[in-house]
A and B are shown apart, each in its own frame.
Chain A
Amino acid sequence: GAGVSQSPSNKVTEKGKDVELRCDPISGHTALYWYRQSLGQGLEFLIYFQGNSAPDKSGLPSDRFSAERTGGSVSTLTIQRTQQEDSAVYLCASSSRDRGLNEQFFGPGTRLTVL
């Protein structure tokens, strides 16, 4: 079956521009995560959606970052007024369980380069 998909796969933008990154989770998965992966760094948690509950935004690094999830499915991560330090791979993951170990299935990521 289809896995987690993300678009675009690559995005090059100029400093100060806004960008939108999209994530299509696995159908039926209630949980959705956004992570950022920089060179030599681990995955940095950004935000977590679970069903209709209020999202856990505790990982968002600044108010320039926001995310929404429409209809409990597709999610969009928006970065406003991008900075060069925002350059990274942005990974989305989804999972179907909310107890015990919830295996997260990752998408291929969006590689963002801010010039």
Chain B
Amino acid sequence: QKEVEQDPGPLSVPEGAIVSLNCTYSNSAFQYFMWYRQYSRKGPELLMYTYSSGNKEDGRFTAQVDKSSKYISLFIRDSQPSDSATYLCAMSAPDYGQNFVFGPGTRLSVLP
């Protein structure tokens, strides 16, 4: 079993839809949970991060962490074609030092 699992997609939705992206993980020591967005031929960029459990909202984006289920989610409201990208979850634990464990990414297409 991989440490971090993520449905690779592709996921296609119409403009304006609510998008739900998810990751599951196996290591209960993970404390930082991050979502990166990667446009084609670009490096990933940090979108949101959450420490431990709970929700965090930033504009149209909401990140949720459920540590009891080892499950994290990223919701995108009122999706736009400019949201079309690959979304990678990443996690870190204190004993990982400065290293993150990344999921494989979900490719999202928002159709106009």
Q: Which residues of A contact B (CB under 8 A)?
A: 4, 31, 33, 35, 40-43, 45, 48, 50, 56, 59, 91, 93, 95, 98, 101-109
Contact = CB atoms under 8 A, between A and B. Distances in A.
B83 to A, nearest CB: 19
Interface residues of B, number: 25
A102 B90 CA distance: 12
The residue among A40, A42, A98, A105 with the most chain B CB atoms within 10 A of its own CB is: A42
B43 to A, nearest CB: 3
Contact of B102 (A40, A42, A101, A108): A42
Interface of B: 4, 6, 8, 32, 34, 41-46, 49, 51, 88, 90, 92, 97-105
A109 B43 contact: yes
